[in-house]
Amino acid sequence: MGKEYAIGIDLGGTFIKGGVIDLKGKVLVSTSIETRADGGPSHVLGRMAELSREVTRAGRIAWDQVKCVGVGTPGPLSRAKGIVYTAPNLPGWENVPVVRTLKRKLQKPVFLENDANAAGYAENWVGAGRGASSMILLTLGTGIGGGVVLDGDVWHGRDDAAGELGHMSINFDGPRCNCGSYGCIEAYASAPATVRRALDGIEQGKRTSLKKLLEKNGEITAKDIYVAAVGGDKFALQTIQATGKLLGIAVSNFVNIFNPELVVLFGGLAGAGDTLFDPVRDEVRKRALKPAADTVKVVPAKLGGNAGIIGAAGCALRALEISAS
């Protein structure tokens, strides 16, 4: 039968990424296809099944060598029921029986996982958190997602709804968040929140190279801001530092709650490097309790865009192991 593998699928609103991952978390092959979400859930599920076959062929392994398929999706889901309740940016996705459908199409064990949890599991398995006994992952993007990995397993909670770390309020009177609450860290330190702070500054007449960029492109991105910051633009630097400080307040809370070995920052803004990480770490030193504040490491993620498929595959292998034991 040869070496064994798992397939990892990372479902996004624009692309579906798929890959073949070996039992040590190494990516044998990976590829992306368009989601074509407009086609609706059953069309997308068909594409996910095709992609699973395709990466297996591309990896030149036999279908028999595939132990299981892991699927990472955004939004609330039930692992036990194998259902995605809703998925942001995927029209028509309501109570979609992902596991049942893919099991039928692929004739393999299929497991669901929240995408931020999958990224967290992947970073703990073979990434920045390899070997860490406890790890908190924050995904910094349009929103802020979270993954809590304790003793090597994702903490899922009662309803697979744990790890919504972006929706911890750090100011109960703060700005309204997309979730309906106030002052969530997502409302303060997501990419859009960072861009908004920069735009406010530009409007107020701050001197910054971002103004020209805004005039030229009609918009600026979080990446524009940290690239300008690293390039010496003072206002851009202050903007990233402000985001770092706000993230640091949130991380301090997680340190007091979990006393984790590691906090991993994942996604776009984490690319800002020490410009972002220094104020995060400063805030943890100032705010969190000893000894946890002294021992925690705050580091960038390592696996980049592959974290989703590695984690989906890894969580599926782990679930298979648990269900067999």
When the beta carbons of 14 and 133 are compared against its own copies, the nearer one is 133
Which residue stretch of 2-10, 119-127, 171-179, 221-229 sits at the interface with its own copies (rule: CB under 8 A)?
171-179
Three-class SS state of 149 = strand
By CB under 8 A, name the one of 159, 203, 219, 321 that touches its own copies. 159
Question: Residue 12: which of 80, 71, 54, 56 has the closest Cα?
Answer: 71
* Residue from the set 88, 157, 175, 273 that interacts with its own copies by CB under 8 A: 157
Tokens 């893919």, located at residue: 102
What is the edge-to-edge ordering of all strands in the sheet holding 153-154? 153-154, 144-150, 134-140, 262-266, 297-300
Amino acid of residue 190: S
* Shortest Å, Cβ 147 to its own copies: 11
Q: Looking at 130, 274, 286, 305, which residue binds its own copies (CB under 8 A)?
A: 286
Confirm or reject binding of residue 200 to its own copies (CB under 8 A).
no
Residue 149 is a binding residue for its own copies (CB under 8 A)? no
Is residue 205 near its own copies by the rule CB under 8 A? no
- Pick the binder of its own copies from 31, 181, 221, 238 (CB under 8 A): 181
Interacting residues with its own copies between 224 and 263 (CB under 8 A): 246, 249, 252-253, 256-261
Report residue 264: phi and psi, to 5°.
-115, 130
* CB contact set of 171 (below 8 Å; sequence gap of 6+): 182, 183, 188
Instruction: For its own copies, give the closer residue by CB, 212 or 290.
Output: 290
* The total number of residues written for the chain in this structure: 325
CA gap 264, 165 in Å, rounded: 13
> Who's near 78: CB < 8 A, 6+ residues apart?
85, 112, 159, 160
Binding string, 305-324, against its own copies, x = CB under 8 A? --------------------
* Look-up of token digits 């340190």: 255
Burial of 39 (0-12, 13-18, 19+ CB in 10 A): middle
Write out the binding residues for its own copies, residues 121-140 only, by CB under 8 A. Answer: 133-134
Does the footprint of its own copies cover residue 42 (CB under 8 A)?
no
What is the contact mask toward its own copies in residues 72 to 111, using x (rule: CB under 8 A)? ----x-----------------------------------
Binding site residues, its own copies, CB under 8 A: 76, 133-134, 146, 148, 150, 155-165, 167-173, 179-183, 246, 249, 252-253, 256-261, 286-292, 295-296
